[in-house]
Chains A and B, each alone.
Chain A
Amino acid sequence: MINVMTFTVLAIFVVIIVIFVIQKFSSNQKLNLTYKTKYKVLFSYIVVLLFATVIYLSFVQPKMAAIKIEEVHAPILYDIVYGEDGQVGELPEQFIKDEWEMEPINHEIEIALTSGMYDAYFSIPVVVEERNDQNQNVKAILYETPTTFLDRDISEQVSLAKLSIEGNQLSFYGEEEYITVYFRAIDKDMTVKQFLASHPYDVGNYFNFEQGEQVLYLSVPKKIKIKADEEFFDIITK
């Protein structure tokens, strides 16, 4: 938050200037601070902080702690798709993002990556399963696992590619090429942490970031042609 940074720097400047001014003023105007006033200042400082601490520990903290930030554990789709024995495994149902039905044109569907997406490492496995029925439609299912940070779901802040389907076009697009996310965290102090067992989610220890995965599943009729850029889409037949 640039605002906070600027605010902090300005605040520090203000504090230093205020101190400077008080010094100058007191030495010029003979407005002298006796030790009694200084101790009154110290006393009120402690009292204010004590008061704030009591409020914090009794009210604010329990309220904050009650806000559960759920932990998410998602399976790794990559391992399912590129299974050990070369077989595509079962894609998890609970991670279905969306489902579509589309009609191929001339037995052809096209998958493309359009604009707005950071494409340097973009790669989506496309699992294609042929059906033996008469239905000429293509069923598309987009599986998506959440992006997690410290095992918390941050998909809202870090969005993966979006999919829009029109006619026989599946278009992946993005909204932002470069994503910047800010979070707050409140941590225990080092003098407290010393005596506690190391917490796995101890912010200071490591930043566990797992980017979400996407897998496109297509249920296609026979003799369907899929046109897709190999660089971005890895077509796997189930």
Chain B
Amino acid sequence: MSLIQNKVQKNTVIHVNFLEAVKKQYHYKLHAHHSMFGTMIIMQIIAGLLTFSNQIYSVNSNNIDITVRIISADLIIGLTFLWIIIMAFQLTTKASKNKMVTFVTSKQTNHLANILFMITLCFIGGLTANLLGAFVKMVVSVMDQTDPFIYFAGTSVSEFATGILATIAYMLLIASFFYLIGEIVQIHSILIIIIPSVLVGLLFILGVNVEPIIGFYIFTKSLSIMLVKTLVTAFLLFFAATLFGNRLEVRR
């Protein structure tokens, strides 16, 4: 005796468009990871406060001690870089993937949604880091203090825009690199030990020089060339990351 004599409505199989699925996942991540922006704001504000007392000492002669308080957005930008590293890692963890699996996902849509989300993080992080830098500079300029200015290097509007673009580009590069590392590490827990050891070994024991690699990006004098280098590398690294972890079971 079947419970249903007449099947009233057949629940037909739903077909999902890949890009639509990515879009839905992207919005989901945007909502679920709102705390990432919270940590960004906090880290940036702390960096901003630290910038206020960023001191570089110059002890010249034996009785003269000159201290220059140099204000720039470097510390804020640096901490924002650290922030994106942590966020990129967080997106590769099993916990993050398990949360996606509750709803509609595939490994590929998850990767793509993660990448779109990281691009969003980089844009907002890069923008706010530079804006906060200008804010701090403004406060220091306007604050009435007993120590005079020894040097004032202003930033023109075009330079400011350049700074924002460069910051975003670097963040994309860094995010893609650490996302890839995060994905590789997920494959086996032993890799968490092996990969850092290999990197440290390369650096110290074999004396592999990282400077040319970093210099490839840092020493580029032209903004457009630097953007091309950074963005192409980021694209390749992101693509490489999508190749990993696709056979991993989701152990809930």
Contacts and interface: CB of A to CB of B under 8 A. Distances in A.
Direct contact of A and B (CB under 8 A): yes
Interface string B114-136: 00000000001001101111110
Nearest to A38: B34
Contacts of A48: 135
B251 to A, nearest CB: 27
B149 A181 contact: no
Given A45-B41, A189-B73, A192-B166, A184 B148 contact: yes
Contacts of A11: 49
Contacts of B140: 184, 186
Contact of B68 (A19, A158, A177, A184): A184
Contacts of A178: 63-65
A187 B153 contact: yes
B150 interface: yes
Interface string A175-196: 0011111111111111110111
B31 interface: yes
Interface in B63-86: 63-74, 77
Contacts of B60: 207, 209, 211
Interface in B201-250: 218-223, 226
Contact of B147 (A12, A55, A184, A192): A184
Contacts of A121: 61-62
B53 interface: yes
Interface in A84-122: 118, 120-121
A203 interface: yes
B46 A189 contact: no
A226 B119 CA distance: 78
Contacts of A4: 52-53, 69
A202 B170 CA distance: 23
A186 B152 contact: yes
Interface stretch (A61-69, A75-83, A162-170, A217-225): A61-69
Contact of A183 (B37, B49, B67): B67
A184 B145 contact: yes
Interface stretch (B4-12, B16-24, B154-162, B185-193): B154-162
Contact of B151 (A41, A179, A181, A203): A203
B73 A184 contact: no
A236 interface: no
Given A1-B145, A39-B34, A181-B64, A52 B150 contact: no
B42 interface: yes
B63 A118 contact: yes
A38 B218 CA distance: 35
A152 interface: yes
A31 interface: no
A15 interface: yes
Contacts of A57: 134, 155, 157, 160
A209 B37 CA distance: 44
B50 interface: yes
B108 interface: no
B137 interface: yes
Contact of B150 (A5, A61, A152, A195): A152
Nearest to A174: B63
A181 B74 contact: no
A201 interface: yes
26 contacts: A1-B147, A15-B42, A15-B45, A38-B38, A67-B149, A67-B152, A69-B150, A158-B64, A178-B64, A179-B65, A180-B66, A182-B147, A183-B149, A184-B71, A185-B70, A186-B151, A186-B153, A187-B70, A188-B163, A189-B73, A191-B77, A191-B170, A192-B166, A207-B60, A207-B66, A211-B60
Interface of A: 1, 4-5, 7-8, 11-12, 15, 19, 35, 38-39, 41-42, 45-46, 48-50, 52-53, 55-57, 60-62, 64-65, 67, 69, 118, 120-121, 149-150, 152, 154, 158, 177-192, 194-196, 199, 201-204, 207, 209, 211
Given A5-B55, A120-B62, 15 more contacts: A45-B128, A49-B135, A53-B131, A53-B160, A60-B141, A67-B149, A150-B151, A183-B151, A185-B150, A187-B71, A190-B72, A191-B162, A192-B155, A204-B70, A209-B60
8 tightest Cβ-Cβ pairs between the two chains A and B:
A49-B131, A183-B150, A118-B63, A182-B147, A56-B138, A35-B34, A191-B166, A185-B151
